[in-house]
Structure 1
Amino acid sequence: MTPLPDFAPATPATPSSAEIRRWRRYLADERSEAAVYRDLAARRAGEEREILLGLAEAEARHEDHWRTLLGPHVGHPRRGSLRSRFLGFMARHFGSVFVLALMQRAEARSPYEADVHATDAMAADEQIHEEVVRALATRGRNRMAGSFRAAVFGANDGLVSNLALVMGISASGVASPVVLLTGISGLLAGALSMGAGEYVSVRSQRELLEASTPNAEARQKVPMLDTEANELALFYRARGLDPEEAETKAARVLRAPHTEPTGPVPVVGADEHEAVGTGLGAAAASFCFFASGAVLPILPYLFGLEGTTAVIVAAVIVGLALLSTGAIVALLSGGSPARMALRQLTIGYGAAAATYALGLLFGTTVA
């Protein structure tokens, strides 16, 4: 961390009321952010714990700066902003990657760059803090199970596709039971399609990897190879070693075929982590994720609502769900939760509006 310099900007002899309020707010926010880092550190161990405690110490130095400027005007400790208090609650009770993602955005919004009473070192600290928290958040994102990401995206697909289907059919003027039946059909068709596609994808990937894995029985033939021709070197070259490394390794194996392993040598560029899991497991997860989203647009019809009321209630339920999934995707990707949530809502409502308009058009034509 960059230490604060031994000097501070010139302090007004009599700070204005606005300056005192601003400095007190800065002081309260620094205290809250330091507490968030300490709470996160309490839920971690090793290097990550040390890094988070180091960030808390840096925020404490910033506290000292504002306390010194305030002098006799420091007053009673103030509560931090609502955002800081929310982050503190999340850190104490969850301590997840989502808190780090939000702290990353908080550090990026530091006002110190434009405040003449903050030192250059403090502004630089905040920028470095953003990068430190970004790196910690990236670690957390990388550790997250792929099934969680699949849950978010699968549920979002179900939300948008079935809302659009229900809106389009409802606009055509058919009876509510027909809309409900259509929605259930869309849920099953979409979920089964997603599950089948995931099964085929995972199974195909596993089969490709199996086809690329060296045959264990070939090792038994190594002692029978012609040591002059050294065919084994071709095997290692085909698996990605350069000619010199291949010759060296093959010669070593031929000298002691029963003690030196012949493989498997990784294929250069192979990425096996994509094939983790079974086809049936991936299919079941994909089916459930899609269905969990697709069931929301038909809830009003399941509870007996009809006509415009059912359409409005379905749109509101799905809208709230789209805002939630958008915010979660943003936190996973490091983007703005508000912007991503609104984008998800716009896309979902745009698709629904298009099918609703088509339903009105075809319904009028049929009538």
Structure 2
Amino acid sequence: MSAPAAQTPAPTPAPSARDRRRWARFLVDERAEARLYRQLASRRTGEERAILESLADAEGRHEAHWLALLGGEPKRLPRRSLDTVVLGWMARRFGWIFVLALAQNAERRSPYDDEPFATAAMAADEKIHSEVIRTLAARGRRRLSGTFRAAVFGANDGLVSNLALVMGIGATGVASQFVLFSGIAGLLAGALSMAAGEFVSVRSQRELLSATEPNDDAHHALSDLDLDANELALVYRARGMSEADATARARRVIRVAQGIETAPAITSPVGVPDDHEVVGRAWGAAISSFLFFASGAIIPVLPWMVGLSGLAAVITALVLVGTALMLTGATVGLLSGGPPLRRALRQLGIGFGAAAVTYALGLLFGVTLG
């Protein structure tokens, strides 16, 4: 019985006008992304700059792919997508961590997974790019997380707590001057409380980390240790090394300390990350907590400060605070790599929910006292 004849693959259909328009769109977006990475790289140094430039080079390879399919530079190119325009504008004006967080979301939505004319390597590149951007953004978040956390939470606490306070006081029907005084008192009390609490919290965390880090107290005794019977290996085992590796390392450190070997000893801690940068500094966190709580807490009081009263003051306060809550919520969402609109609406719901409860209580007490 003869072997079946090999089947020839079906010919690739000729690209349509819609395909060519889509390729042109990909070409424009790849160029914009490469330009974005080069702009960000120009503001960095060292390894981060090299990584961003490599990402730009990779986008250049994708650009060459679409140019080849198009048969050269098209006479007319579509406009860049709104995402790339916004990212490019922000890259020139805002901090690079903020832009990387936005780029992380953009890279996560790869258009090549279902694109028949994109290679598998291109789709894989986009997934790797997303992880590289996420890692770079995480580096930046580590550098600002302590103070940034205090600032954002301080502003949100100020917005929500003082809005709830003035809504509750105002609903009782008291004079506008009393609402204003209550709001300013709430601002100062809350800001001072936040600053003190943040200072104690961050200082305690740093002291705890310092207590758990290795030190060099026993370094001067290394040369006096017995090479064959000593407990130095236990130090390295306690830091996470295996028994064999710990023993070998201990012998080498002692031999170097005793002058038997000339190679430098490895004395860096094992398995103990430097978390001080993540925690932040106590005074920085305290001052930012005070300032940002105050900046958030003053917004609900502004209508009464400019002379408004009654329903007009309440509505104005709700509009101002609602806008601020959505902005802070969206900012946290962007920097954390989450959906900004969902975070903004969540923050708005929390703030207005608290204000609704205290306003209802204020109405109840106002009726009771009246």
For normalisation by structure 2, the TM-score amounts to 0.77
Whole-Å separation in 2 of the counterparts to 1:34 and 1:250: 48
Whole-Å separation in 2 of the counterparts to 1:168 and 1:255: 74
Structure 2 match to 1:307 = 310
Structure 1 match to 2:105 = 105
What is the 5 A alignment of 1:182-197?
Answer: 182-197=182-197
3-state SS of 1:285 partner = helix
Q: Which runs of 5+ in 2 are unaligned?
A: 1-10, 260-266
What is the 5 A alignment of 1:225-304?
Answer: 240=238, 273=276, 277-278=281-282, 282-304=285-307
The range that moved more, 119-128 or 194-203, is 194-203
Structure 1 match to 2:166 = 166
User: Which of 340, 343, 360 is equivalent to 1:340?
Assistant: 343
Deviations 1:144-183 (A, max 9, x none): 2621221111111111111111122222222221211111
Report if the CA contact (8 A) 1:194-1:283 is conserved: yes
Structure 1 match to 2:60 = 60
Structure 2 match to 1:157 = 157
3-state SS of 2:300 partner = helix
C-alpha spacing 1:95/1:209, structure 2 compared with 1 (3 Å):
closer
Which amino acid in 2 is paired with 1:172?
T
Which amino acid in 1 is paired with 2:297?
A
Return structure 1 stretches of 4+ with deviation > 4 angstroms: 202-220, 239-252, 264-272
C-alpha spacing 1:170/1:219, structure 2 compared with 1 (3 Å):
same
Report if the CA contact (8 A) 1:172-1:363 is conserved: yes
3-state SS of 1:305 partner = coil
Whole-Å separation in 2 of the counterparts to 1:12 and 1:215: 69
Structure 1 match to 2:14 = 12
Alignment pair present for 1:78 and 2:90 = no
Deviations 1:99-123 (A, max 9, x none): 1111111111122212223332222
C-alpha spacing 1:162/1:122, structure 2 compared with 1 (3 Å):
same
RMSD after superposition: 3.9
Deviations 1:157-211 (A, max 9, x none): 1111111111222222222212111111111111121122234334555666787
For normalisation by structure 1, the TM-score amounts to 0.78
User: Which of 349, 353, 357 is equivalent to 2:352?
Assistant: 349
Q: CA deviation at 1:327?
A: 2.0
Q: CA deviation at 1:354?
A: 2.1
Identity over aligned residues, as a percent? 59
C-alpha spacing 1:64/1:182, structure 2 compared with 1 (3 Å):
same
